Structure 1
C-alpha cells in the first residue's frame, strides 16, 4: 500500500486537525465512502483516485510532472510510478499504480477496503 496513502493525503486536508490516527483514518474513509457503508469499494476508490489525479494535475495537461507530484510523492516514489522513465506520470501509469495499491491493500480479496 505504498501509494494509497498519497491519494489519501488529498482527503486528509479537511481533517488535518484530527486528534488521533484512528480518528484520521475514520474521517478519511468517511470522506471517500460514497454510500456510507463503512467500506471503500473498488468503484469508490477509483472515483477518488480520478479526483485526486485531477487535483494534482495543476496544469491540466493529463500528466503529473515532478513539481506537481512533490507534495505527495518523494523522488523515488515518483520514479517508481513513472514506469516508462519519461519524467512524467501519465494517467495510465497513475492508474496502474493505484490498481496495484488497491489489490495489495485488499488483503482478503473481497474487492473492498475496510
Structure 2
C-alpha cells in the first residue's frame, strides 16, 4: 500500500514539475509603458552610457502609447508615474516634470525620438560628469 501511495505521489510531483514556468524577467509595474524593463540592467546602482542608450533605443515605442511617432507630455507623465524602469529605492514619481523639462529640448510639448533620453538630457542629469548616473543624480537634480 505504501509503495502505491509513494508511486502516486511521485507521479503527481512529476506531472506538476512539467507545469512549472520559468520566472519572467523583471519589468515595469506599468504594463503599457514599462514593458521594456529597467534602465540599470545590471542593478549596480549606476546608469552607464550604454545602458542609457540601450534603453533609449528600445523603449521609445513603449512610451509612445498612441503610436503617433512622438511622446506627449501626458504619455510621458503617465509612463513616468507608472514606474518600473528604475529601482523603487532611487525613483520618485513626482519628479517627472524635472525629466520632462530636460528631455523636451525644443519646448514643443512632445518628445521626438531625438529628444527622448537624449545626450543633452544625459549631460544635465550626470551633474558630476563622470560618465555614469548614480542614485543621487537620478533621484534629484536642479531644474
TM-score (norm 2): 0.42
Higher RCO (C-alpha under 8 Å, 6+ residues apart) = 1
Indicate the structure with greater helix content: 1
